[in-house]
Structure 1
Amino acid sequence: MGAFLSQAMAKTSPPSSRRRKRSVMRRNAAGSRGRSLWARVRAPLLALLLVGLGAGLTWLVWLDVQIRDRFEGQRWAVPARVFARPLVIEPGAWLRPEHLVETLRLLRYRKVARVREPGEYRRAGDTVYLYTRGFPFPADTAPELLARVDFADGRVVRLREALTGRALELVRVEPVPIASIYPASREDRILVRLADVPELLIQALLVVEDRHFYTHHGLDPMAVLRAAWANLRAGRTVQGGSTLTQQLVKNYFLSNERTLRRKLNEAAMALLLEAHYDKDEILEAYLNEVYLGQDGRRAIHGFALGAQFYFARRLGQLKPEQIALLVGLIKGPSYYNPRRHPQRARARRDLVLTLLEREGVLSAREAAEARGRPLGVTAKAPGGSTPYPAFIQLVREQLHRDYREEDLRGEGLMVFTTLDPLLQHRAERAVTQRLKALERARGIEAGTLEAAVVVMQPRSGDVLALVGGRRPGYAGFNRALQARRPVGSLIKPAVYLTALEEPAHYTLATLLDDTPFTVQLGGGKRWSPRNYDRKGHGRVLLIDALARSYNVATARLGLDLGLRRVVRTLQRLGLERRVDPFPSLVLGAVDLTPLEVARLYQPLASGGLAPEPRAVLAVAGPDGRLDRRYALKIRRVAEPVPVYLVETAMQEVVRTGTA
């Protein structure tokens, strides 16, 4: 009965009540379905979140490892710098004022009306005033010095300090840089410590590039917002918001690609870099890394090299307007290149000076004076490639005995060589002029003939000049070191030295037989030496046989002495190449390079002493401390008397012989 009543009541319930029940049922069903959907997706979402966190942490750890691996080791591959022999000015030294001025020009000294600063000079007749820059030599540091040099008859007659008149014993001018041995990246820089950087440069850098450097932690959100607003108002990119730390990360660790991934890496690495290293270390790295220009394939990095590249000055010698220009170049080294776009560069420099004035770094007077000065950039940038490739090849060959190639390319070594730049230039001019004259005189097609030159100091073996061909700056086939040619009569002094070392049998007055003869060789061959004039001269004095270069007399003498004895003499004189004792050897049927011939003649020019050829004097580390000194290696290979007699006979070649 109760059930029947309930069913009857349900059937007679109003429609509104039934709708409310269905709504409640739908909500309950929806809630049930929602709970079941969350239950289904909760685990995958949590898994994805964990994977994302893991990937993010892995990414950060990987970036952290990259930063510490590169930043805690050797940060840069710094090329070795190769220098010529420094010019030493002493009273009594053979030196002309024009030669001193030529050296100063090679060093990019500035000719001025009044010498006031390092790197300037003035010539007044036979007097030269110069203000040396100073230089960290391996043994000591040459100071900056304002000197007066007086000349007469091709000599230095007086050497004094220009201001006080105090007599000076010597003045060392810094050596001419002649080459760099670059790493594969072709990046060039001179490392500098933060303590050696002018305070004005640091202040200017922070004012222009990152005013909150010492307060932010790698990122500066306010700077980003200011830059975004400025760019929005201008309708183009006119301002950047990157901190110095971000710029360092981008230049040192990352590429220049403009992608979101690179920007994220940059931001994260900037934060990590700031977490591991203090501000001064980051600032020092930035000062050495910043890109300031291009010289052909060579990239100019760091303010120290920038100072040399643009102003031929050391960093500590820069004036306020020069510092402002270098800081201004950071924004666009190519766009503001002062040699190509001086007006742009000056406007940018003046803007930096105005900012320094506004921030109180410079007074109004200092800023106005700086804006009124010219750019002061040297007219020509120093070339990135060496003008002396033939000599540098010899330098590298000698260095490779003690240094690996990667050391030369990356350790920042300072290599001091024996090259005399003035003598080198004279040798190059002599080759060019003489070859042209020979081609005109003989009717030979222009550019056909080739030559090589080796100039060595007799007693030390120092290679003072070396020309590898008629195009001295061409880094191709080096004839001075690689061209083996028959030496001909150049070998004859060794034959006569062998004879004169037996004074009981041979003197300069000994009579030699110059009549033709024939030697029977193996295999039915014969050898019949002939004189240049195709004549025999009978009995001739030994001194005349050498002075007139008689082949027949020399051949007889060599055979009488014994070919093996002549070979031993050649080896004593310095010949390292193996030669066979054939009769034609005594007339120069042996192929040698110009350097080998020069080495053979060293003992004849030094009284019997045989110094090893030397192109490197010393090697220092990037801090100037001596790493290795290349001492003289001299041995006596002949007694002075027979060497003197050979030298006397060779002088007759010029006076009365075939020269």
Structure 2
Amino acid sequence: MAYDFNQARWFRALRNALLGFDSWIDSAFFTLSTDTAGLWRNFSSFMERFHVRGASRVAVELACEGLTLGVFGGLILVVLAQPAFRLTASGDWLKKTDLAVTFQDRFGKEVGRRGILHDDAVTLDQYPDYVVQAVLSTEDRRFYDHWGVDPIGLGRALTVNARSSGVVQGGSTLTQQLAKNLFLSNERTLTRKINEAFLAFWLESHLSKKQILQLYLDRAYMGGGTFGIQAASQFYFGRSVKDVSLAQAAMLAGLFKAPTKFAPHVNLPAARARALDVLNNMVVAGYLRENQIADAQRNPASPVDRSAEASTPDWYLDWAFNEIKALSESGKLGPDRVFTVRTALDSSLQKKAETTIDEMLRESGPAFHAKQGATIVLEPLGAVRALVGGRDYGVSQFNRATDAQRQPGSSFKPYVYLTALMSGKFTPQTTVVDAPICLGNWCPKNYKGSYAGSMPMWNALAHSLNTVAVRLSIAIGDGDAKKGRARIIATARRLGLTAPLPDTQSLPLGADEVSPMDQATGYAAFANGGKRIKPYAALEIANSRGELIYTHDRDGEQPQQVIDPRNINDLVFMMTQVVEQGTGRRAILDGVKVAGKTGTTNEYKDAWFCGYTGNFVGIVWYGNDDDQPMEKMTGGTLPAATWHDIMQFAHSGVDLKPLPGSTLIAEQGPVVQLTNNAGAQTLKVREQLSKKSSEALGSIENLMKATAEKHGALDLLRPSRYAAADPAETFARRRGAIVDLR
């Protein structure tokens, strides 16, 4: 008989308990909904008191939207402000420029100064009133009324510029200009302007107006290699700023806008015209009356004759000063703050580099639509002999040689070819194929759109074939293009390149950005046999007591062997063919063996020639600051011609050194022809020897002949021993750089 649960007392009790619990839940939810509805009615009734209609409602809605946008805008501003505020994270941000450095060239001649000692500076209280008034009336009339950024002044400048269809007035406040001088570069980018604005607010909150004005007057570049109005007053007028006249004060105040353009020792009429503008500004601003400036208008200031000092290596000194600051901050210079530095600068070569860049841009720039250029010349072990960061330092102090990041184009390909040589799969004579290739949807093409088929690898580099560089990147990675590119990046890093170099399909063609200094660092390793170097300016540093506290040979970073010299020898041979038979023919030097590579980017935005000899490495770049394309300028045109002119001068009167893997084989540059068996082709090799080197080589040659005659092996020295079907192969055999000559 089955058990009857319904008759069981415990079952009935459980059922009743569950039914009661269910009823409680239903009742609770009903009560909650009723109470909630009542609360909502009460809340709605309360809020009705604030109900607005018509114009009042529009104002309320706008206020609500403004609050919402303000919250999100505030969050965005906090994010944007982070890079600027990181620049101020160091507590000694002001002391970083608190150095006094006198620079000498490599021969010990003083070439300029950088830095400042505050206890030597003239305090603001000692300035004549009209000096400060001249500066404020011209640079920032509302200086005492804004908090770093002046919306009113900015709006006025935009209006004036719009009416004039050009830049007539600047909208930056004096505080913004100080922020740029202390923390930022002169690069014209949106990021820099954003950082500048935030830093201006930061300065206003941490310093008084008096301190900001003092710092600005002490730090601003004033032309002639001078920084600060006190140094400028001494340079231009031979007196302290405490003693300048109203006319002289107006001329000094006019320098802040464009110090080179209005420098009186460079262009006195322009300086005087600018001084008249400053005097009129002082009247408009209410500082002076018309009759008070009349004498200064009739008797304009005349500067001290500085014609012999009109040019200073400012870009070089800026870069060298950063090096000294880094050494000081690392503790290598001790507690001293005053230094005399003998640099590797060659003043004559620096002048030649500056004038060559300027002349090339003046004569050919308009046709090519090119407005800027930069160049670096250094020794293979890193000593920088010359550095030009742009066309006009007074117009823009941004150092394009060290700070500009631009696409290198095909001048990046030597890193690809070197990685291929290092893989052990390739020699300069290895046959490669120039044919169409695609990686996914990306199909690179050669410069002229044609394909040449099979050829030796050195010939592909000489003619800068894009498809071959991409194929090599795949082969380097054992069929995996991504792995191959990673190995190319690793090679560039090993050579000292510091640019980010993100992994992109077009990396082998030079689509990633590098600086000219990066290229100089990498190419120096080609010129010195595979040693990674760090470019440097300081040879010796003495403290204020004349004690030698630093020498680069003893205390500096020394070159490190990072690439097998045999791979470098092969690459150097290939790069000599770029100059002798390929895209870099305009760089050929009289009597000097040259290796190098041209570089041209998409839409002709950048053009490079990067080359080297046994003595020097030279990098030349042309382009535009606003990234506008040029008119079909390739690396083999203006850059190669510029490189030739600078480097021909650099090699005058020096004992020539051989490139890695080669020897100097003739005195004063005669042409030696290495002829193949058929006599149809020749390879011309030009080299130049000093008299001492030529005599030494002659002694070695006589010894070799005597030994050969003694052992009956004279035929080993005859040209026919080295003859081959390919002139480049003939040259390779004679120089002993290639073992496998397939």
Q: TM-score range by the shorter chain?
A: 0.3 to 0.5
TM-score of the aligned structures, taking structure 1 as reference length:
0.44
- Structure number with greater Rg is 1
Query: Which structure is richer in relative contact order (CA contacts within 8 A, separation 6 or more)?
Result: 1
TM-score of the aligned structures, taking structure 2 as reference length:
0.39
